[in-house]
Copies of this chain bind each other. A is one copy, B any other.
Amino acid sequence: MTEPGHTATGPRRGHIPTETRDALTRRLKRIEGQVRGLQKMVDDERYCADVMVQIASAQEALSGVGRILLQNHLEHCVTDAIKSGDPAESERVVGELMTLWTR
């Protein structure tokens, strides 16, 4: 038997609706482009403050991805775990949220 969120043979699976997954993928591809752009800025020895503004922009874009995932996580994984009525499951998701909050 496996715990919810785990499979016997691999990493834990979640539930991300197709539409959300597509939005996340589009955003992450754009962020990948931003990171490549940062490499080019460094290669070109661009003004540090300008590079730092782009770093902040990439971080903000990652935060945006994080917010979509959190919303999805709360609506699906957390809700399901708490509704399961199993105290260990509730405790698990609360502990995970506390860890994520702190990071």
Contacts and interface: CB of A to CB of B under 8 A. Distances in A.
A77 B73 CA distance: 18
Interface of A: 5, 11-16, 21, 24-25, 28-29, 31-32, 35-36, 38-39, 42-53, 55-56, 58-59, 62-63, 65-67, 69-79, 82-83, 85, 90, 94, 96-103
Contact of A11 (B46, B69, B85): B46
A interface: dominant SS: helix
A78 B5 CA distance: 20
Given A5-B47, A29-B39, A56 B66 contact: yes
A63 to B, nearest CB: 7
A25 B43 contact: yes
